[in-house]
Chains A and B, each alone.
Chain A
Amino acid sequence: MQRTYRWLAASLALLASAAVLADAPGTFEKEVPAEAKGVVEISSTSGTIEVTAWDKAAVGVKAELGSEVDHVEVTSSGNHTSVHVQLHAHGIGFNWGRDETHLHVQVPKDSELDVSGVSAEVTTTGVQGAQRLHSVSGDITAETGPSDFEAKSVSGNLKVRGHGQPARLRLHSVSGNIELKHAAGELDTSTVSGEITAELDPARTFHARSTSGDITFEGRLQRNADVDVQSVNGDLKVRAASEDGFQYELQSLSGDISDCFNIKPERSSEYGPGHKLEGTRGAGSAHVRLKTMSGDLELCDH
């Protein structure tokens, strides 16, 4: 009998804790005051993280919580607001049918944003302040403002859109593709095997690297702009224009070099392999350098 009661007591305790935890999978909503140009830090493991800008001096959080979520922590102190999705330390194995957390956060538009996810897909819209978006395997889709912007992913794709306001941009993915449209200013970007496609108007600097991925760049170069694109095996294609002209230097060991200026590449050295193409357009204010071992190179006017 005693054993039966002990078993019953244990079962009731388990059900009670389950009842408490049953609150976790479900919805969550909270709003806290925040400074107009404060820092907002958001982290979640999986699912989606969607950040949109609004005009309120507050951070609003709405979430559909996955089964692994223990609680959502929203704190605000001074000019710093944090939104953290905390998982259970040890899962209890109940599957409520919703394994992913969908987090929607609204922030003051001039906030400085710091988002971190593991396999979460990250999306930001309308944020004008500096952004730092990191995801391990999730894709990152974002709009930039006239502020510093960094997006990094290990295997996710990066898709970023600017609004023509100059900014300093850093986009890095180990294996994902990187796409940047309607941006301006400075871009530093790299991928090992993904493809990079970027537009900068105007462009102050464009520094891009890949090991095997192709890189395509279109830009209107500012005076003294610097374009430096290198890949071991990827094809590099640049369409550039500049009112003050640019100097260019294209080098490939075994790939083809072509341009729209009817200039033929010459051998890099008398006895070794490789070809190069050097020249100046207009006043030659900016600099364009494309280098690859086996990829093809193409340089044309924008």
Chain B
Amino acid sequence: MTDEGPKGAIRSLRDLPQGIEPSRDLWPQIEAQIAGRAGLEAEASAPAAPARRARLPGRWLAAAAMVGCLAVGVWIGRSVLPGAAPKAPPAAVTSGAADGALQAAWVSDPRYQREHAALMRSLGAQLAALPPASRTKVLASLETIHEAQQQIEAQLGKDPGNALLQELLVNTYQDEMRVLTDVREASNAGRGI
């Protein structure tokens, strides 16, 4: 962060270092503000969330159900859409996280709900458009993600405030959306060609 400014005497004001390092890392508070705002904005526009995620009966090809959302503001950015889980928040989560570094915000995101439901409704037809080998692998991958979510949720049940698990859980929702979106793109590619 700091320029390699000269020490000692200088001959010009332009030789003064432009960068000066603050005495502490300011990022955690910035991060908390921008994450908190992202969560509040989503929450402000969200309809009331179902109390618990309606889980498909173990199989992705079953009829789509409305899925609620889980959002941890810091990790939303890299997904196609923000991911948020519709669970009731574990008691410890909404208390202030240590060091102001991570704030887990459990919100419902209507865009995620709509997009996820749409992808699930068309998943069967899209999978049918894929080569058989790909279809099998996609189903296996979705099952891998589903199992990972169950494992993480089981651990979160024992340790609800665990930031690592929360982050990894959000990742799995994002990964699921990425897979569903890739399947949609892939099936469109097949039809287009």
A contacts, CB < 8 Å to B: 43-45, 84-85, 87, 116-119, 134, 136-137, 152, 154-155, 172, 174-175, 188, 190, 192-193, 207, 209, 211-212, 230, 232-233, 251, 253, 268-269, 272-274, 291-294
Contact = CB atoms under 8 A, between A and B. Distances in A.
Interface of B: 78, 130-131, 133-134, 137-138, 140-141, 144-145, 148, 151-152, 155, 158-159, 162, 164-165, 167-168, 171-172, 175, 178-179, 182-183, 185-186, 189-190, 192-193
Nearest to B139: A175
B76 to A, nearest CB: 14
Contacts of A116: 189, 192-193
A116 B191 CA distance: 12
Contacts of B167: 230, 291
B151 A192 contact: no
B148 A45 contact: no
A291 B193 contact: no
A136 to B, nearest CB: 4
Contacts of A43: 189, 192-193
B134 A192 contact: no
A178 B167 CA distance: 23
Contacts of A154: 130, 134, 137-138, 182-183, 186
B78 A134 contact: no
SS class, residues of chain B in contact with chain A: helix
Nearest to B146: A211
B171 A192 contact: no
B168 A230 contact: yes
Contacts of A137: 130-131, 133-134, 137
Contact of B130 (A136, A152, A212): A136
B185 A134 contact: yes
A253 B155 contact: yes
Closest 7 CB pairs of A and B: A155-B137, A137-B134, A192-B141, A232-B148, A175-B137, A136-B186, A272-B159
Given A155-B137, A175-B140, A212-B148, A291 B130 contact: no
A136 B148 contact: no
B12 to A, nearest CB: 26
A291 B168 CA distance: 8
10 contacts: A136-B190, A154-B182, A155-B138, A192-B144, A211-B145, A211-B172, A232-B172, A272-B162, A274-B162, A294-B151
Contacts of B158: 272-273
Contacts of B178: 172, 174, 190
Nearest to B186: A136
Contacts of B179: 174, 192
Contacts of A172: 178, 182
A230 B175 CA distance: 12
Contacts of B155: 253, 273, 293
Contacts of A192: 141, 144-145, 175, 179
